[in-house]
Structure 1
Amino acid sequence: MAAQGNAAPIIIKRKKVVSGGGHHGGAWKVAYADFVTAMMAFFMLMWLLNATTEKQRKGIADYFTPTIAINRVSGGGNGSFGGNSTFEEEMLPFNGARPVAAARPATRAQSAETADLKLLESELLGYGGESDVMENEMKHVITRLTDEGLVVELFALPDAPLFNAQTGQPTRLLRKLAGVLVQTAKSVKNDIAVGAHVPSQPVVAADIQVWDRSSQQATVMRQLLDDAGLAAGRVQRVTGYADREPATLDPMDIRNNRIKVTFLR
């Protein structure tokens, strides 16, 4: 009996295991994360609707459309498309853009027209060799051959403007260049487009008139061509481009004051 009285008591510890991670469990964290994700997606959708154009929205929608074909050329057969590719013009999915036409070889008429425009360009640039005075004036002329036609650009310089700053009237330089254009234009029958660009005005200017000025200058240039003897009906359009598409990094540079005469294909 004495030996049993000296024995150490046996202590049993029981741990209470709580399932669920606490009083409310962890399910609320998952629900809250889903809610935050949904709100973020909602606000992003609202931002996209406000910050994009209709064409861009169509492109975004088509990106997530699973029905666009992977290959440009169909495998053929008598299925729903009858062997046609969904990238053909008649079958193209509605994505706000037309299919890119395959490059076609230039026809004989197109090649002849390009040759005529190149000859016109050579004749125009050849005027600079007639005299020292004319050579100085032809420094205001650059040309380039584009898909639209031969673009002849007349640009102003700080010491040789195309228009009078006070009156808006054409200078003697622009009148002479218009005469040269009409003289060379007699060798071809291409229609003509006239456009005008002007430098940007300071942002603090009270009255921004870049659109009115460019439109007025384009109209004046058309009148100069008519006065110089250009055949009636050859001018197909007259456009004022304001201060868009500047020619130099400085949008207020006088070099951006220019006239474009395009001999259309």
Structure 2
Amino acid sequence: MGRRRSEPEKAPNHERWLITYADLITLLMIFFVLMYTISNVNAKKFAQLSSSMSQALLGEKSGYFIGEAQGPLIVDTEQAAAAKTEAANMEDALEKLKKYIKEKGLEGQVEVGQEERGLVISLKEALLFSIGSADLTPEARKVVADVGQVLIKMPNNIRIEGHTCNLPINTSRYPSNWELSTTRATNVVRYLVTQVGLKPEVLSATGYGEFRPIVANTSEQNRVKNRRVDIVVLKSVFNIAEPGKG
């Protein structure tokens, strides 16, 4: 059998690189379009978040940090309004209590102020109890009732915290400062519910013994400051830490 005659070779195509080049340009264009789109979305979301947080925390309208992005707020305007109302209620209660303390001459026996967790009314032991006792004195009942009337319409959770100094106690009724501080807090809760009319579901009692002093227990003057019951009106943001609250 004879050899097949070889076919003539085709001339090389010198323009094939154009196809690869066109594909590369197309991919690069798509890449930059995606990067630009992602960049714009993030900036818009960040701007919305900045504005929303400003409204929620400051209770006022503020500008965007990035650009002039528009769109629905991440933090609902109703939540911002609720936070503003709560802050106003706290401030109103604070001013009423300050006025009450001044009118009744209770400076040094009752202190009130705002902390990050909420409104704190601190009642000193000398006003509320006899030494080593958890029974409210007649004067204490009147003061607790008056304070309760200021707080009764507030929807916030209220925590009653009992505190002692570091002097030990060991009686048949109170083996340690844990029992004494807890019983004092519980008695204040009971009085607020039964005599003032606060809702029991917003109240809680806890005893810290001598372990949450506000000053060092290095003198009797300091120990007097540490022996106290704090009424803490918690901001609603802390509801998540309360059982059954969201």
TM-score normalised to structure 1 length: 0.52
User: Compared with structure 1, are the counterparts of its residues 225 and 122 closer, same or farther at alpha carbon in structure 2 (3 Å cutoff)?
Assistant: same
1:141 partnered with 2:110: yes
Q: CA deviation at 1:121?
A: 0.6
Q: 216, 223, 241: which one pairs with 2:208?
A: 241
User: Compared with structure 1, are the counterparts of its residues 126 and 204 closer, same or farther at alpha carbon in structure 2 (3 Å cutoff)?
Assistant: closer
User: Compared with structure 1, are the counterparts of its residues 113 and 213 closer, same or farther at alpha carbon in structure 2 (3 Å cutoff)?
Assistant: same
Contact 1:201 1:208 in 2 (8 A): no
User: Compared with structure 1, are the counterparts of its residues 147 and 126 closer, same or farther at alpha carbon in structure 2 (3 Å cutoff)?
Assistant: same
Contact 1:195 1:259 in 2 (8 A): yes
Q: 211, 215, 224: which one pairs with 2:191?
A: 224
Hey, which bits of structure 1, 4+ residues long, moved more than 3 A?
202-205
Q: 154, 161, 177: which one pairs with 2:143?
A: 177
Q: CA deviation at 1:214?
A: 0.8
Percent identity over the alignment? 23
Question: How many Å separate the matches in 2 of 1:169 and 1:203?
Answer: 16
Find the counterpart in structure 2 of residue 119 from structure 1. Answer: 92
Contact 2:134 2:187 in 1 (8 A): no
Question: How do 1:1-265 and structure 2 match up within 5 A?
Answer: 104-105=53-54, 106=56, 107-130=80-103, 134-135=104-105, 137-156=106-125, 160-165=126-131, 167-202=133-168, 209-250=176-217, 253-265=223-235
Contact 2:96 2:150 in 1 (8 A): yes
Q: CA deviation at 1:176?
A: 1.7
Contact 1:191 1:236 in 2 (8 A): yes
Secondary structure (helix, strand or coil) at the match of 1:164 reads coil
Contact 1:150 1:262 in 2 (8 A): yes
User: Compared with structure 1, are the counterparts of its residues 203 and 188 closer, same or farther at alpha carbon in structure 2 (3 Å cutoff)?
Assistant: closer
Question: How many Å separate the matches in 2 of 1:109 and 1:218?
Answer: 30
Aligned length: 160
Question: How many Å separate the matches in 1 of 2:193 and 2:98?
Answer: 22
User: Compared with structure 1, are the counterparts of its residues 203 and 215 closer, same or farther at alpha carbon in structure 2 (3 Å cutoff)?
Assistant: closer
Q: CA deviation at 1:243?
A: 0.4
Q: CA deviation at 1:218?
A: 0.8
Q: Which runs of 5+ in 1 are unaligned?
A: 1-76, 78-101
Contact 1:178 1:228 in 2 (8 A): no
Contact 1:120 1:188 in 2 (8 A): no
Contact 1:215 1:240 in 2 (8 A): yes
Secondary structure (helix, strand or coil) at the match of 2:196 reads coil
Contact 1:198 1:242 in 2 (8 A): yes
Question: How many Å separate the matches in 1 of 2:170 and 2:132?
Answer: 20
Question: How many Å separate the matches in 1 of 2:209 and 2:230?
Answer: 13
Q: Which runs of 5+ in 2 are unaligned?
A: 1-33, 35-49, 57-79, 236-246
The structure richer in helix per residue is: 2
Find the counterpart in structure 2 of residue 15 from structure 1. Answer: none
Q: CA deviation at 1:168?
A: 3.2
Question: How many Å separate the matches in 1 of 2:200 and 2:94?
Answer: 22
Q: CA deviation at 1:163?
A: 1.2
Letter in 2 for 1:249: A
CA-based RMSD: 3.2
Question: How many Å separate the matches in 1 of 2:206 and 2:137?
Answer: 20
TM-score normalised to structure 2 length: 0.56
Find the counterpart in structure 2 of residue 82 from structure 1. Answer: none
